[in-house]
A and B are shown apart, each in its own frame.
Chain A
Amino acid sequence: MAFNGHQFDDDILDEDGTPSKQLRPDKEMPESAASAGRASSPRRTSNSMSRLRKDSMKKTRPPFPWFGMDIGGTLVKLVYFEPKDITAEEEQEEVDNLKSIRRYLTSNIAYGKTGHRDVHLELQDLTLCGRTGNLHFIRFPTQDLPAFLQMARNKHFSSLHTTLCATGGGAYKFESDFRTMADLQLHKLDELDCLIRGVLYIDSVMSRGLSECYYFENPTDPDHCIQKPYTLENPYPLLLVNIGSGVSILAVYSENNYKRVTGTSLGGGTFLGLCCLLTGCSTFEEALKMASDGESTRVDKLVRDIYGGDYERFGLPGWAVASSFGNMMSKEKRESVSKEDLARATLVTITNNIGSITRMCALNENIERVVFVGNFLRVNTLSMKLLAYAMDYWSKGQLKALFLQHEVQHLSEATPTSMLERAPSPLNAFLCLCVHPGLLWCSRSPAGASPSILTSSKDALLNLLHTPLAL
């Protein structure tokens, strides 16, 4: 999540008065930000953050309105902080257009034809930067961004001296539109940079109580496959696989030293895209639900379909998939499979392929631990177990697949709209905590930020790093 993009003008002072570097240098071009970030000097630890003095917060508190945007390939996710502790004095001072923005946003749940506010996600009485208020979640299709910009222009957003924090590919794609159409500057945040810090951070926050990281014990034995906590005490080196619309694979050697090893375009977007085309479904949840009811072996051609059993000459077990969708070459079989079978086969194909590429990267990079993250895995225990199985089986137990607690959510809790696209992933919420100074503070606010607040806010905070980059 990107919060209202006010920048720190001075170095933040620690309690003892020694200056410490702020997280991200100001006015830095996003392109160089990633590399600069990697090489930059010591990063703030969670400990030092907690020692921020309240007055320094006041000093650095950005002016209202507080907005954060995540501009994805499909949806724009906008978060708006509505201050509820406005004094009469402030009310007086509040300029008209600020007031009208606040009223417009908080009194409606639909904006135009396509904009929606997710009331059920709203977070009330949240303390942020010393202010208390409600956090609203608004979404609209990326294709309607011009209309949004037009509104911003009509309401003279630019006169409010606000800088919008934005992430997602659209932050780059539409930056000039923001400038020319609405006279707004975007403060862009790089996604991968944040991802790494987020994963490390979340583990450091959580490991004191609950373990954030876990793995599947006995992944190759369905009856004894159990989720077990895993402590990332010495996390490096680590392979980080971020599965969103596409997939990025990062080798992390230290907090500041990582590289993108490779990526693949066969990711969550492919799963959903193919499912939509094959089954007529329209959401990630629908697709997942179908997949859980289907049988992929009717669609895929297995080794035993060809060899009658194992292909012993090469140590291939009969159950292994020889050709994904291979049975669909036959007309009769095409006619006999269900939509659920097709959805399942799509899920298995995409998941196994990610597993396969990951395993090869791990071998090439000589890394034994793999952490899988990303929206594709949310609500998707099926894929996680498949990945755990594939890693373990094909590496003969050499590779360990790790997952994060905050990725997990149950279908019942899921929002009805496409999660893949909106995906207020709790993980991503943490990621922005680590990136944005305002939010860093939020997580450690003297008002009592605790892991429980963190977890309660998990559903609400926008995913700063939402759009997963592939390839």
Chain B
Amino acid sequence: MAECVGVDSNTSGHSMDKSITLPPDEIFRNLENAKRFAIDIGGSLTKLAYYSTVQHKVAKVRSFDTTAKEAPNDKLYEISVQEEVTARLHFIKFENAYIETCLDFIKDHLVNTETKVIKATGGGAHKFKELIEKKLGLNVDKEDEMTCLIKGCNFVLKNIPHEAFVYARHADSEFRFQTANPDIFPYLLVNIGSGVSIVKVESEDQFERIGGSSIGGGTFWGLGALLTKTKRFDELLQLASKGQHTNVDMLVKDIYGGSYGCLGLTGDLIASSFGKSATADKEFSKEDMAKSLLHMISNDIGQLACLYAKLHNLSRVYFGGFFIRGHPVTMHTITYSINFFTKGEVQALFLRHEGYLGAIGAFLKGAEEDNPNQYSWGENYAGSSGLMSVSPDMNPMQRARSGTFPFDMLEMDRLERQLVNLPLLQDPSSYIPDTVDLTEDALARDYWLYCFEDALDGVVKRAVASQPDIPEAVVRAEKFRQKYRHKLLTLRHQPFAYGSLTVRSLLDTREHCLNEFNFPDPYSKIKQRENDMALKHYQRTVESLDALSWEDRQFALVSGVLAGNVFDWGAKAVSDVLESDPGFGFEQAKRQLEERPWLVDTYDQWLQRLKGPAHKCALFFVDNSGVDIILGVMPFVRELLSRGTEVVLASNSGPALNDVTNGELQILTERIAAMDPVLQAGLQEDRLTLVQSGSSSPCLDLSRLDKVLAMVVRERQTDLVIIEGMGRAIHTNYYATLSCESLKMAVIKNSWLADRLGGKLFSVVFKYEVPLGKVHHNGATLMLS
């Protein structure tokens, strides 16, 4: 029994507020190109979905024609800003009260006339059918609710890392996000609408409603309204959060005086819900009754969910529906119930975008011909509101205080490339890219939020400087500043808004915001200048390396990578130096490095390993442009090639800070190959390959990499992974375990972080690891770090 269906909207107690004016570019964005609409109308909330395209400026690099000999200004390549169209999914959630206003707004701004149909789902879909058809002139095409829900659920689980979380009300961080398991099936979805549906999902298109219950959100609402004369659902929840259920429920200890020991029943357990109201001849407070009702319903649902999970042997149980929808009170009671009934064996999981599942699913049904499932999608942090933001789910009183619009948004960008796991991850299901979870670590969170706020001025300045010929760049940069500052503020209060807060997510959010205001690559000119400069030193660097003895050379190569890595505009300590001393050079950087033994130092093992047979193939995740890639990484790659090791260089697909992009690296490599026969041969013999990572982040998530990269890695039988730089080897992947040998190299360019790791500014991390049980080819078992 029991459906996820919503309830009559007239019960929600809203009055239509047509007087509001919508801030157009903040809510229904990119309507001009919108197509493929879908709508999910629930009991009190409407969720609208559409596909649109976004025109963005992107920075492209193009090699000067080298045959012309005469490159203008000695520049290696030219940078051009081009317009690029990318696909984006928009999801907007608002109260049903605004539905007419919203439809009017959409009608007025909709340009695309190809759209003829709007997919609709949810209990309220039939009710608003006529209104939608009249206002938008589109045919309403109803889709099965459960099918949409499951489709939506699969979509977010696959595409949004940190979608699912465990709720722990009294823990340091209330939300504990789950690592994205590449294999999302099978799972149980318990949808608590007015009734409860329990659905077992086995694959993309295979699911079964295995059970349900009529005691659900509607029971809480309906019975609660009768008992307390309180009409609104969220007001009932508020009442409940203030009540004492023990005044109404009969507990085990009310009967036994304590626990019922032989059955392991503790005294505080509820023996009979509402048991006291059956006998005590007195008045009960609204709060207490609401609380008792909440416990009764949550416990009952939790118990049934556990019984079904046990019967079908499922351990992943997600809860959704309007009863849950981000309400801490119900998430807590459901979690409690599941813990109780399974003795902790099953965890109640909730979804960050639970409210959007129906709309996402309905949209996907309508977009089947575009086959959206063949792409990877990424949450756009700039355009999405985030969990527990000022959303319509929130209590109206709270919202009134905050004075913001009751709209909640989710935007997802279609990624150019399909993303998959690095095949060399030891255990993909337990891989966590980030080293520190700032959601849990309050000290670290405070520091990094401050740090990013502090660096904002510099970022704005560089953004403006990157577009010197465009006067309105100043205005855009200011908008960027506001947007990002607002995000930082939100994250200060709701660190969990976009999943676990990490240095990576802070960096990525900044990139998303920059892109949003058309600053696709603020560092393009800096990178260009530094690449040109470094290239001039390449030959000399290689020659001096060649002059060294084998053993000295190995050390010099490592020092070179480390010194090169000091040149990093992403680290504030370094960008300050680079800004004040433009002549800061490679040699100076080498002197900045700490003496051995380094903070983490397994160099001796590495050297020992190099005395053995060559690796089959090395995958190298590179970091910065300029000195780093040209004078640090390339000579190292050259040595590997000389040893007979194939090399795959993985660089970012899109720009992030001064990181070298795949486009730039292509040109750089060609240019270096032109003067270096070793690299030239490598390229020609296909022993040196350039691939893109699929990412545009200064950090690295090894569970979301370009599918091509994964393929190449597998084909080449890669047996060594090298990760360079603070963002990729310290902030992320510091603890990542791989199934092959790995080498993580970084210079810590942040004194706070250095302090945390027990080192100091410019401390070196050199972490060479061999997976457990793997014995070195020449027979010597390597020490593990």
**Is B121 an interface residue, CB under 8 A from the partner?**
no
B279 touches A34 (CB 8 A): no
Known: A168-B255, A334-B225. A74 touches B279 (CB 8 A): yes
Known: A73-B254, A270-B296. A342 touches B221 (CB 8 A): no
B219 touches A270 (CB 8 A): no
User: B194 is contacted by which of A260, A323, A349, A469 (Cβ under 8 Å)?
Assistant: A323
Residue on B nearest A261 in the bound complex, by CB: B307
B307 touches A471 (CB 8 A): no
User: Could you tell me the distance between the alpha carbons of A34 and B250 in the complex, rounded to whole angstroms?
Assistant: 23
**Is B216 an interface residue, CB under 8 A from the partner?**
yes
**Is A7 an interface residue, CB under 8 A from the partner?**
no
Contact string, A270-287, partner B, CB cutoff 8 A, digits 1/0?
A: 101110111000100000
B255 touches A170 (CB 8 A): yes
**Is A322 an interface residue, CB under 8 A from the partner?**
yes
B256 touches A323 (CB 8 A): no
Which A residues are in CB contact (< 8 Å) with B213? Answer: 353, 356
Which segment of B263-271, B455-463, B543-551, B738-746 sits at the interface? Answer: B263-271
User: B311 is contacted by which of A273, A301, A364 (Cβ under 8 Å)?
Assistant: A364
B311 touches A274 (CB 8 A): no
Which A residues are in CB contact (< 8 Å) with B257? Answer: 169-170, 172-175
User: A326 is contacted by which of B7, B260, B304 (Cβ under 8 Å)?
Assistant: B7
Considering only residues 374-433 of chain A, those with a C-beta below 8 Å from chain B are 418, 420-421
**Is A87 an interface residue, CB under 8 A from the partner?**
no
Which A residues are in CB contact (< 8 Å) with B219? Answer: 323-326, 349
Which A residues are in CB contact (< 8 Å) with B214? Answer: 300, 320-324, 326, 349, 352-353
Q: Nearest chain B CB to A387's CB is how many angstroms away?
A: 15
Considering only residues 292-316 of chain A, those with a C-beta below 8 Å from chain B are 299-301, 303, 306-307, 311, 313-314, 316
**Is A267 an interface residue, CB under 8 A from the partner?**
yes
Residue on A nearest B249 in the bound complex, by CB: A265
User: B278 is contacted by which of A190, A307, A316, A420 (Cβ under 8 Å)?
Assistant: A420
User: A72 is contacted by which of B8, B255, B304 (Cβ under 8 Å)?
Assistant: B255
User: Could you tell me the distance between the alpha carbons of A420 and B279 in the complex, rounded to whole angstroms?
Assistant: 10
User: B1 is contacted by which of A74, A321, A325, A357 (Cβ under 8 Å)?
Assistant: A321
Which A residues are in CB contact (< 8 Å) with B262? Answer: 30-35, 190
User: Could you tell me the distance between the alpha carbons of A364 and B7 in the complex, rounded to whole angstroms?
Assistant: 33
Which B residues are in CB contact (< 8 Å) with A352? Answer: 214
Which B residues are in CB contact (< 8 Å) with A225? Answer: none
Residue on B nearest A272 in the bound complex, by CB: B278
A270 touches B273 (CB 8 A): yes
**Is A108 an interface residue, CB under 8 A from the partner?**
no
Known: A32-B262, A170-B257, A364-B307. A330 touches B8 (CB 8 A): yes
User: A323 is contacted by which of B2, B146, B226, B296 (Cβ under 8 Å)?
Assistant: B2
Contact string, B19-51, partner A, CB cutoff 8 A, digits 1/0?
A: 000000000000000000000000100000000
Which B residues are in CB contact (< 8 Å) with A98? Answer: none
Q: Nearest chain B CB to A453's CB is how many angstroms away?
A: 32
User: A324 is contacted by which of B144, B215, B258, B265 (Cβ under 8 Å)?
Assistant: B215
A269 touches B225 (CB 8 A): no
Known: A172-B257, A265-B249, A306-B3. A471 touches B269 (CB 8 A): yes
Contact string, B222-249, partner A, CB cutoff 8 A, digits 1/0?
A: 1101110001000000000000000011
Which B residues are in CB contact (< 8 Å) with A220? Answer: none
A270 touches B7 (CB 8 A): no
User: Could you tell me the distance between the alpha carbons of A471 and B256 in the complex, rounded to whole angstroms?
Assistant: 13
A264 touches B300 (CB 8 A): yes
Which A residues are in CB contact (< 8 Å) with B254? Answer: 73, 169
B271 touches A469 (CB 8 A): yes
A172 touches B256 (CB 8 A): yes
Q: Nearest chain A CB to B233's CB is how many angstroms away?
A: 8
**Is B320 an interface residue, CB under 8 A from the partner?**
no
Q: Using a Cβ–Cβ cut-off of 8 Å, how many residues does chain B contribute to the interface with A?
A: 72
Known: A30-B262, A420-B278, A471-B271. A356 touches B304 (CB 8 A): yes
A471 touches B284 (CB 8 A): no
User: Could you tell me the distance between the alpha carbons of A172 and B252 in the complex, rounded to whole angstroms?
Assistant: 11
**Is A246 an interface residue, CB under 8 A from the partner?**
yes
**Is A445 an interface residue, CB under 8 A from the partner?**
no
Which B residues are in CB contact (< 8 Å) with A469? Answer: 252, 255, 260, 263, 265, 271
Residue on A nearest B10 in the bound complex, by CB: A330
B279 touches A326 (CB 8 A): no
A322 touches B195 (CB 8 A): yes
Residue on A nearest B233 in the bound complex, by CB: A329
B218 touches A323 (CB 8 A): yes
Considering only residues 71-108 of chain A, those with a C-beta below 8 Å from chain B are 72-74
Q: Nearest chain B CB to A469's CB is how many angstroms away?
A: 6
Known: A35-B262, A173-B256. A246 touches B271 (CB 8 A): yes
Contact string, A230-273, partner B, CB cutoff 8 A, digits 1/0?
A: 00000000000000111000000000000010101111111011
Residue on B nearest A172 in the bound complex, by CB: B256
Pairs across A and B, CB under 8 Å, 5 listed: A169-B254, A265-B296, A306-B123, A467-B255, A469-B263
**Is B341 an interface residue, CB under 8 A from the partner?**
yes
**Is B310 an interface residue, CB under 8 A from the partner?**
yes
Contact string, B127-154, partner A, CB cutoff 8 A, digits 1/0?
A: 0000000000000000010110000000
Considering only residues 288-307 of chain B, those with a C-beta below 8 Å from chain A are 289, 296, 299-300, 303-304, 307
Residue on A nearest B222 in the bound complex, by CB: A328
**Is B406 an interface residue, CB under 8 A from the partner?**
no
Interface centre among A35, A192, A265, A277 (most CB of B within 10 A): A265
Q: Nearest chain B CB to A173's CB is how many angstroms away?
A: 3
Known: A264-B300, A306-B123. A328 touches B275 (CB 8 A): no
User: Could you tell me the distance between the alpha carbons of A33 and B261 in the complex, rounded to whole angstroms?
Assistant: 11
**Is A224 an interface residue, CB under 8 A from the partner?**
no
User: Could you tell me the distance between the alpha carbons of A32 and B261 in the complex, rounded to whole angstroms?
Assistant: 9
Q: Nearest chain A CB to B43's CB is how many angstroms away?
A: 8
**Is A194 an interface residue, CB under 8 A from the partner?**
no
A277 touches B277 (CB 8 A): yes
User: Could you tell me the distance between the alpha carbons of A370 and B10 in the complex, rounded to whole angstroms?
Assistant: 43
User: Could you tell me the distance between the alpha carbons of A325 and B261 in the complex, rounded to whole angstroms?
Assistant: 36
User: Could you tell me the distance between the alpha carbons of A155 and B249 in the complex, rounded to whole angstroms?
Assistant: 36
Q: Nearest chain A CB to B558's CB is how many angstroms away?
A: 60
B1 touches A246 (CB 8 A): no
Q: Nearest chain A CB to B690's CB is how many angstroms away?
A: 50
Which B residues are in CB contact (< 8 Å) with A72? Answer: 255
**Is A135 an interface residue, CB under 8 A from the partner?**
no
**Is A109 an interface residue, CB under 8 A from the partner?**
no
Considering only residues 20-69 of chain A, those with a C-beta below 8 Å from chain B are 30-35
Contact string, B299-328, partner A, CB cutoff 8 A, digits 1/0?
A: 110011001101100000000000000000
A353 touches B215 (CB 8 A): yes
A360 touches B250 (CB 8 A): no
**Is B276 an interface residue, CB under 8 A from the partner?**
yes
User: A360 is contacted by which of B271, B279, B307 (Cβ under 8 Å)?
Assistant: B307
User: Could you tell me the distance between the alpha carbons of A306 and B273 in the complex, rounded to whole angstroms?
Assistant: 29
**Is A123 an interface residue, CB under 8 A from the partner?**
no
User: Could you tell me the distance between the alpha carbons of A208 and B65 in the complex, rounded to whole angstroms?
Assistant: 107
Q: Nearest chain B CB to A73's CB is how many angstroms away?
A: 4
**Is B272 an interface residue, CB under 8 A from the partner?**
yes
**Is A327 an interface residue, CB under 8 A from the partner?**
yes
Q: Nearest chain A CB to B325's CB is how many angstroms away?
A: 16
User: A260 is contacted by which of B215, B263, B272, B278 (Cβ under 8 Å)?
Assistant: B263
**Is B482 an interface residue, CB under 8 A from the partner?**
no
A471 touches B278 (CB 8 A): no
User: Could you tell me the distance between the alpha carbons of A278 and B274 in the complex, rounded to whole angstroms?
Assistant: 12
Given A323-B218, A334-B226, 13 more contacts at CB 8 Å? A73-B254, A169-B256, A169-B260, A172-B256, A246-B250, A260-B263, A299-B222, A301-B195, A313-B146, A323-B195, A326-B222, A330-B8, A357-B304
B303 touches A329 (CB 8 A): no
Q: Nearest chain B CB to A261's CB is how many angstroms away?
A: 10
User: A274 is contacted by which of B7, B223, B256 (Cβ under 8 Å)?
Assistant: B223
User: Could you tell me the distance between the alpha carbons of A365 and B123 in the complex, rounded to whole angstroms?
Assistant: 36
Q: Nearest chain B CB to A145's CB is how many angstroms away?
A: 11
Residue on B nearest A35 in the bound complex, by CB: B262
User: Could you tell me the distance between the alpha carbons of A323 and B2 in the complex, rounded to whole angstroms?
Assistant: 5
